[in-house]
Chains A and B, each alone.
Chain A
Amino acid sequence: DAGVIQSPRHEVTEMGQEVTLRCKPISGHNSLFWYRQTMMRGLELLIYFNNNVPIDDSGMPEDRFSAKMPNASFSTLKIQPSEPRDSAVYFCASSLFLEYSTGASTEAFFGQGTRLTVV
């Protein structure tokens, strides 16, 4: 397996434009996470999906952010309209969730990230 694949690797856009980040999780994994990383705040969980269903989106900063997972092999994170403060590295990660009662899961594998710059 090629691991978690994210695209694009780098994105530079003007303020107000729509940005779409893409993620292909590892085949067979049933959990997918979107994170944002900045120097000031470290890694922040934005949203996570289990079996393609959004379970927790409490980390999504505001209505400008939206995420979808139409099937088990693809997810998108969209920012519309984008603002300079959205500049960060966005990571997608996937894992195999094993058991609800214990919260047991395999390790989470991260993609290489998308570095977003909004000017």
Chain B
Amino acid sequence: KNQVEQSPQSLIILEGKNCTLQCNYTVSPFSNLRWYKQDTGRGPVSLTIMTFSENTKSNGRYTATLDADTKQSSLHITASQLSDSASYICVVSARGGYNKLIFGAGTRLAVHP
């Protein structure tokens, strides 16, 4: 069964600190992996998208890594800001067929001053 597991479920950090969120998946065959940020009361917004051949991608203070061999991805947030408080969702799509996105449950991040 295609699944996406995220950890931790929730995280609290102080402003200015770094953090790393984890994503493990069993989706096969793999096509791409995306990280989305969802602010409270809003729809998810894409941060990064990585295909099989990419192992790192950055978007400002966000850096995503991908290890296709171990089927793991991480999202690293540097120098966190209060505005980083949101849910971060890992989404994987399978190779071949129509582009069905498989969502993880998300990590709820709270950045405190």
Which residues of A approach B to under 8 Å, CB–CB? Answer: 4, 31, 33, 42-45, 48, 50, 55-56, 91, 93, 95, 97, 100-105, 107-113
Contacts and interface: CB of A to CB of B under 8 A. Distances in A.
A69 to B, nearest CB: 14
Nearest to A101: B96
Given A91-B43, A111-B43, A103 B101 contact: no
A-B complex: 3 closest residue pairs judged by Cβ atoms: A110-B43, A105-B99, A103-B31
Contacts of B11: none
> Main secondary structure on chain B at its contact with chain A?
loop
A33 B99 CA distance: 10
**Which residue, of B43, B94, B97, B99, has the highest number of chain A Cβ atoms within 10 A?**
B99
Given A42-B103, A109-B46, 15 more contacts: A31-B98, A33-B101, A42-B104, A42-B105, A43-B103, A43-B106, A45-B100, A56-B100, A93-B43, A101-B96, A103-B97, A104-B32, A107-B46, A110-B45, A113-B42
A107 B50 CA distance: 11
A111 B41 CA distance: 11
Given A102-B31, A107-B34, A107-B46, A45 B101 contact: yes
B43 A56 contact: no
Interface residues of B, number: 24
A107 B98 contact: no
A100 B96 CA distance: 6
A109 B45 CA distance: 7
B110 interface: no
Contacts of A4: 43
A3 B43 CA distance: 11
